[in-house]
Structure 1
Amino acid sequence: MRLTYLFDPLCGWCYGAGPAIEKLAGHDNVTLELLPTGLFAGRGAGRMDAQFSEYAWSNDQRIAKLTGQRFTDDYRTRILGAGGAFDSTAASLGLTAVHATDPGRELTALKELQLARYVRGQDIVSVAGVGEILLSLGLAKAAERMLARDPALVEAYGRRIQTARTLMRRHGLSGVPALLAGEGPGQRPLPGNALYEPLEGLLAQLGAA
């Protein structure tokens, strides 16, 4: 089955869905495509003031309780407590660079970016911060293209975002994470809570879709 995963690197619920996505990607009968939506880029970007940080931490605790994913004090102090930008452009651009240079490692790069933010409290909202993480993964070509703001890469990033947003409109989706099963006219979205169920239940829903 072909699956399309719509996400944003700064989405806590997408981080919560990470274990399910990783299991699906390792399934013999699944082909998984990643598409960043730019939900928190461009007009969706913002700043982390005290009110936003408090809301985010409260939401993160709900995600942790439901999924078992970790949100550490380092994240709370260095990311939420430090203020600054809330913008997923750099992370999505970096993932597009990985997709262009070493597509088989894009999911690994996404997981590492999420762990960098939510566990280690590292910067993934700047090009420099994302580039450092890509280099640590041995993804030097991807890091080089992103840091150089390669025009072809920026164009590819825009196309991916546009494709993801077109799919969201087509299927009436307003948020992420979202998982689409199939392709073409037969493509169908799964229920929003499917990614937080045991793998057996998720696979059953995929079979029904």
Structure 2
Amino acid sequence: MNTRARVTYAFDAYCGWCYGFGPGLREFAEQNADRIELQVLSGGLFTGPQAQPIGAFPHIRGANERISKLTHVSFGDGYQDVLEDGTRVMDSTDPATGLVALRQQAPGRQAEIAGAIQRAWYVDGRDLSDVKVYRDIATELGLDADAVEAAYLGPATRAQAEGDFQEVRELGVDSYPTLLLHTETGVHRLGGAVSKAANLTKALNQHLDTV
């Protein structure tokens, strides 16, 4: 019988605060792997009319400086070049589709997959609308790159990505990152954007002790 607690991580590949939160989230997931079942869902931060060139969002540069200061993550030279150029379009549907394609093969490694996608962007500055990114991540993680590419290009996978957006909305999430614990008493938020693994585990313990 599976007695692990259900935890949902709502993030977006183009969310800098999620990138800063990532190391703590992955450490938390690893330390509590025997107690939680983690699902990563994309929120769709930049979709529809919001899917625009990165240069259309001048606040990003200042936000990145604050993220680095508070979480100690580094933004790579490849990403800095993309930010400086300003023309790369951010469409969250594409990395959300990549996440679905990858997690189909490794549902128990979703935090790791999300981290790999964000590193491709925030470190290397790669185009998250390019299927080769997800092939390379699949190879890096020991997954079937051909299957990932086929899934990424299939309409069912894109529909599932859009389903993730809808599920996140139904959970009432309106900011990222958001980590949620599902219990018999309801859905509870664990920590905030700058929470470390120890704080997340402490919050998990407190909620599990009350159910």
Normalising TM by the smaller chain, what interval? 0.7 to 0.9
Equivalent pairs counted in the alignment come to 198
Which of 195, 198, 205 is equivalent to 2:196? 198
Q: How does 1:1-209 map to 2 (within 5 A)?
A: 1-26=5-30, 27=32, 28-49=34-55, 52=57, 54-124=58-128, 126-137=129-140, 138-139=142-143, 140=145, 141-146=147-152, 149-168=153-172, 173-183=173-183, 186-191=186-191, 193=192, 195-209=193-207
- SS of 1:101's equivalent in the other structure is coil
Q: 2: CA distance between counterparts of 1:38 and 1:46?
A: 13
Q: Is the 8 A contact 1:38 1:44 kept in 2?
A: no
Q: 1:184 to 1:151 in 2, by over 3 A?
A: farther
Greater displacement, 98-107 / 60-69:
98-107
**One-letter code of the match for 1:205?**
A
Q: 2: CA distance between counterparts of 1:183 and 1:42?
A: 33
Q: 1:198 to 1:108 in 2, by over 3 A?
A: closer
Please list the CA deviations of residues 118-168 of structure 1 after superposition, one character each: whole Å capped at 9, or x if unmatched.
1122221x133533433442431112221xx21222222222221111112
Q: Is the 8 A contact 1:97 1:145 kept in 2?
A: yes
Q: 2: CA distance between counterparts of 1:198 and 1:154?
A: 32
Give the superposed CA RMSD.
2.1
Percent sequence identity over matched residues? 32
Q: 2: CA distance between counterparts of 1:184 and 1:44?
A: 36
Q: 1:136 to 1:79 in 2, by over 3 A?
A: farther
How far did 1:180 drift? 0.8
Q: Is the 8 A contact 2:44 2:165 kept in 1?
A: yes
The structure richer in helix per residue is 1
Q: Is the 8 A contact 1:12 1:60 kept in 2?
A: yes
Q: Is the 8 A contact 1:7 1:36 kept in 2?
A: yes
TM-score (norm 2): 0.83
Structure 1 residue ranges without an equivalent (≥5) = none
- SS of 2:179's equivalent in the other structure is strand
Q: 1: CA distance between counterparts of 2:132 and 2:14?
A: 14
Q: 1: CA distance between counterparts of 2:184 and 2:164?
A: 17
- SS of 1:5's equivalent in the other structure is strand
Runs of 4+ with deviation above 4 angstroms: none
TM-score (norm 1): 0.83
Structure 2 residue ranges without an equivalent (≥5) = none
